[in-house]
Amino acid sequence: MENQYDAVIIGSGILGCCTAFELAKKGYKTLNLDKLGTAGYGSTSNSCAIIRLHYSTPDGVAMAREGYFYWENWETYLGVIDPTGMARYVNTGCLVIKTPLNKNLITVKTSLKDLGVHYEELTLEEIRRRWPVLNTRRYFPAKTMDNPEFGQTTGEAIAGAIFVPESGYITDPQLSTHNVQVAAEARGAEFRYNAEVVEILKKDGRTAGVRLKDGTEVHAPVVVNVAGPHSYLINRMAGVEEGMKIKTRALRQEVCHLPSPPDFDYEHDGAIISDGDIGCYSRPEVGNHVLVGSEDPECDEREWVHPDDFSRDFTRQWTTQAMRQAQRIDELPIPNQPRGVVDLYDVSDDWIPIYDMSDLPGFYMAVGTSGNQYKNAPVVGVLMSELIQKVEAGQNHDADPVEFTMEHTGRPCNIGFFSRLRDINPDSSFSVIG
C-alpha cells in the first residue's frame, strides 16, 4: 500500500539516519521525513562533531567509548561508499583540564579505566612542552566580560589535566549524515524531504502514522521522534509531553572560528581541549583555525528559544567566548569580524538524552541530545532499534527496561538510564559535557 511503512522517523539528522539504518538492517520498512531539503541540514550541519570519551556519568563514558569504534572504522560500519565522498575522522587527542566542576576528573578517570581507555596524567610542564601556545594559569570560575575580575587569574596554576589520545573530530558532519543515508537506502530505507509533519495520527489508542503539511498521510504503527531542537514540539503534537518527568527545550548557541596563534600549526599540532576553568571547549579546525564553543558556565545567560524563531546574528557571547579562549591560548588572534556559527541544542532538563518509548504506544523518542550526542549516533541507532523491536514484541520497558550488549566494548547497556520518567541526574554536568 502506498505510504504504508513499518516505521516513520521524524528527522534526518545524524541520529535519525542512524536509527533508519539500524531498523532497516532488522528488516523494517522505514521512511525518514524532514522539513528541510536534505539529510543533516538542521543542527547536525553545524555540529562541532567532536569525538571524545569523557562524560560526567559512567553510562555516558560507555556510550562514547562504543561510538568511537564506529567512527574509527566508518566505511566498515556503513558497508557502502557514498559517491559524493566519505566523512573523515581526524585523531587529535583531547586535553581535559581538572576543575572543581569535574571533581578533578576522579569519576571520569575511574570510568575510563573501567573501559580500558588509555589516558595520561600531564604535569603543567608537560602541557607547556607539548603545546607551547598554551598557558596553565587558573581563572576558575569562568566570568562574563562585565565582571571587573574578568581575565584576572585566581590562582597560580590549574590543578592539572589528563590527555586522552583516542579523541578527535569529523571533518564534515553533514557529509557523514549523507553517508548514513546512502547506507540506509542500500538496506531499503526511504527518505522524503521538504516534508513537514503537522499531526501524529492515532488509531485504537496507539500511533498510526503522521499527516504532512500538504495533507499527505503516511501510515505506520511506529513513529520515532528524532527532530532535534523541534523535538518538544513533536512531543506536544503527539500528546506525550505531560507524561514525561524529563522534558526538552531548544537552546541557542554560538561557536567561534578564530585564526591560529602566529607561528603555530594549530590544525595539525593542536588538540581538543575541554576547559571548565575558562568555560570553553575548543578543537583544531580546517584552515589552521581554532573552533571555540561554550561549556555553559553558570555565569552565562541561557537563551531558550522557539526553534523557528531565533537570531543567527552573533552577540556579545561570541566575544566573551573568544576572550576566554585567549586566556588559555597565548597570542590568540581575535578578529574584528566574528566568524563561526549560531545554531541550537536540543536540551533535556539534566542534559542527558531521552531514548525511550512514550505514553502513546508506538511513539518513541531520541531527544534531548544537547550538543554532545553526535559522537554517539551509531550507538543510538542500535539502541533505538533494539528498544523498538523489543517493546513492539511486548516488553514493558517502563517496568522491565530493555538491555542490549554493545558490540565493540561488550558492555551491557540498560536503556532505562535514558528514561523519560527518571529523576534529574545529580551527577550530570548540566552542560554540553553531558
Give the pLDDT confidence of 311-323 residue by residue, as tens digits. 999 999 999 999 9
* Domains of the chain, CATH where assigned: 7-83+172-247+350-418 (3.50.50.60), 89-169+250-344 (3.30.9.10)
- In the three-class reduction of DSSP (H, G, I as helix; E, B as strand; rest coil), residue 399 is classed as coil
- What does the pLDDT read at residue 430? 86
pLDDT confidence tier of residue 202, bands split at 50, 70 and 90: very high
**Helical ranges in 150-288 per DSSP H:** 173-186, 231-238, 266-269
pLDDT band of 428, cuts 50, 70, 90: confident
Average pLDDT over residues 382-397: 98
Mean pLDDT rounded to a whole number for the chain: 96
Q: How far apart are CA 62 and CA 83, in angstroms?
A: 33
Residue 415: which pLDDT band, with cuts at 50, 70 and 90? Answer: very high
Q: In angstroms, rounded to a whole number, what is the distance separating the alpha carbons of residues 79 and 82?
A: 10
The pLDDT, as a whole number, for residue 58 is 87
pLDDT of residue 2: 78
Q: What is the structure's pLDDT at 104?
A: 95
Place of cell 566498515: 76
pLDDT number for residue 1: 54
Phi, psi for residue 129 in degrees, rounded to 5: -70, -40
Residue 434 pLDDT greater than 80, yes or no: no
Report pTM: 0.96
Percent of the chain with pLDDT over 90: 94
Residue type, 21: F
Query: Residue 121: what pLDDT?
Result: 97
Confidence check: pLDDT of 92 > 70: yes
Query: What's the angle, vertex CA 306, arms to CA 304 and CA 309, rounded to 5?
Result: 115
Question: In this structure, are residues 351 and 195 in contact, taking their beta carbons and an 8 Å threshold?
Answer: no
* Residue 431 confidence (pLDDT): 83
Alpha-carbon distance values, 389 to 36, 162, 364, 408 (Å): 28, 40, 11, 21
What lies within 8 Å, CB to CB, of 221 at 6+ separation is 6, 7, 206, 207, 208, 362, 392
Task: Report the share of the chain in percent with pLDDT over 70.
Answer: 100
- Kindly tell me if the per-residue pLDDT of 432 is higher than 90: no
9 pLDDT higher than 70: yes
pLDDT-derived band at 404 (thresholds 50, 70, 90) equals very high
Q: Where are the alpha helices (DSSP H) in 73-192?
A: 74-78, 106-114, 124-130, 173-186
Q: How far is CA 293 from CA 39, 113, 137, 319, in A?
A: 24, 28, 20, 11
- Average pLDDT (213-241) is 98
Residue 376 has pLDDT above 90, yes or no: yes
136-169 tens-digit pLDDT = 999 999 999 999 999 999 989 999 999 999 999 9
Instruction: Pick the more confident residue, 314 or 61.
Output: 314
Q: Is the pLDDT of residue 255 over 90?
A: yes
pLDDT confidence band for 427 (50 / 70 / 90)? confident
Specify the pLDDT at position 57. 84
Confidence of residue 56 (pLDDT cuts 50, 70, 90): confident
Determine the average pLDDT of the residues in 351-369: 97
Per-residue pLDDT at 143:
96
Whole-angstrom distance, CA of residue 254 vs CA of residue 294? 8
For the chain, how are helix, strand and coil distributed in percent, rounded to 5? 30, 25, 45
Give the CA dihedral 247, 297, 434, 160, nearest 10 degrees.
-170
Phi, psi of 235 (to 5 degrees): -65, -40
In sequence order, which residues have a C-beta less than 8 Å from that of residue 373 and are 6 or more positions away? 15, 353, 380, 434
* Side-chain-facing half-sphere of 297: CA atoms under 13 Å: 24
Give the separation between CA 108 and CA 222, rounded to whole angstroms: 37
Q: What is the mean pLDDT of residues 72-80?
A: 97
Alpha carbon distance 201, 33 (integer Å): 15
